[in-house]
Structure 1
Amino acid sequence: MSFAVQYLCNGLIRRSIELRALYCHAATQVSEPGLRTVLDEEAQSLTLVIAELQAQIRSHEGTPATRRRVLGVVRYGFDTLVPHSDDAWIRLLARHEQNLLRSFERVIARVGAGDMSAELHRQLPRLHSIDLDMHSLAKAVGVGH
């Protein structure tokens, strides 16, 4: 695996770790128990994405990311600083989820055949499912996605 591909994949891992932390935090902050359950499930799905990408990088003799970016820590602090309503959490998470999905799609477009392409493609259905869940929640509460 080239250094460039490892760098791109580690960026996806870091973004996923950041979003998982935000899902976990939001799950502790929302008032609706059903929403809490959904957010916990989305965090678990991201945990699987992260673990699988890390394992694939290791199998290519690379070193996978295990932490958030510094910018991600700052963004997390900002996003969690202000108290949010359930609707605001849904809106925030939907936006971040959409950004993560776009990031995966951009990296897939940049990575050549072989070099982690198949591994990244395998994660898309899971990410699309999370995005669809967030889109449905946003639509249900009348929030634009």
Structure 2
Amino acid sequence: MDEDGAIFSARPPGANVISSVTRTTCNQLIRRGIDLCHLYRHASLMVSEPGLRAVLGEEAQALATLVVELQHEVELAGGEPRRHGSWGAALRCRMVDGMARVSARRDNAWIHALAQDESAMLRAFEHAVAHLPEESAQGLRRQLPRLRGIHLDMHSLDGAAHS
């Protein structure tokens, strides 16, 4: 084997462990992203305000793009990306839908639930970035501005809904 071949085939100790942790963490974030995207899409159909429908649809699309990019990160790390959310997402959707139906301010109930779930997603992302090795966290770090933008949008809507 020539020198160049030896350089490219040599893996640092622990590379497989790092790659495995990256794939696992990204797949967990993908699942959460798919679940939240599903909730946004459902909410966009259920709210009555047309402007809010449009905003929620845009946020769902931004999350879908984020999920696709995370799936690509998993593929680059040599893994099989998650393609589906959790079974609990459908349950969460039904629960929020039920709460919104009995609420006097249905749209506000959806906004509040989305803001809560989105905050949890952002915290999970930030936790992953802080605890993954630097080379693994780079892909996630690129996604943070998009997720923080969604976070600001939802919390602005949530604050306005409660005033």
2:121 pairs with 80, 100, 105, which one?
Answer: 100
Structure 1 CA distance, aligned partners of 2:26 and 2:43?
26
1:90 aligns with 2:111: yes
* Larger RCO (CA within 8 A; separation ≥ 6): 1
Is the CA contact (8 Å cut-off) linking 1:18 and 1:76 kept in structure 2? no
SS of 2:78's partner is: coil
**CA offset at residue 56 of structure 1?**
1.5
Structure 2 stretches of 5 or more lacking a match? 1-17
Structure 2 CA distance, aligned partners of 1:11 and 1:35?
29
**CA offset at residue 71 of structure 1?**
3.1
Rg larger for: 2
1:29 aligns with 2:46: yes
Structure 2 CA distance, aligned partners of 1:34 and 1:101?
24
Is the CA contact (8 Å cut-off) linking 1:18 and 1:68 kept in structure 2? yes
Taking structure 2 as the reference length, the TM-score comes to: 0.82
**CA offset at residue 4 of structure 1?**
2.1
- Runs of 4+ residues deviating >6 angstroms: none
2:133 pairs with 108, 112, 121, which one?
Answer: 112
CA deviations on 1:4-53 (whole Å, 9 max, x unpaired) are 22111100000000000000000000000000000000000001100111
Q: Counterpart of 2:96?
A: 79
Q: Could you tell me the percent identity over the aligned residues? A: 42
1:45 aligns with 2:23: no
Coordinate RMSD, CA, aligned: 1.4
**CA offset at residue 62 of structure 1?**
1.1
1:7 pairs with 1, 16, 24, which one?
Answer: 24
CA deviations on 1:51-79 (whole Å, 9 max, x unpaired) are 11111211221111110123334333323
CA deviations on 1:116-144 (whole Å, 9 max, x unpaired) are x110001100000000000111111226x
Q: Counterpart of 2:151?
A: 131
Structure 2 CA distance, aligned partners of 1:23 and 1:38?
10
Structure 1 CA distance, aligned partners of 2:97 and 2:23?
30
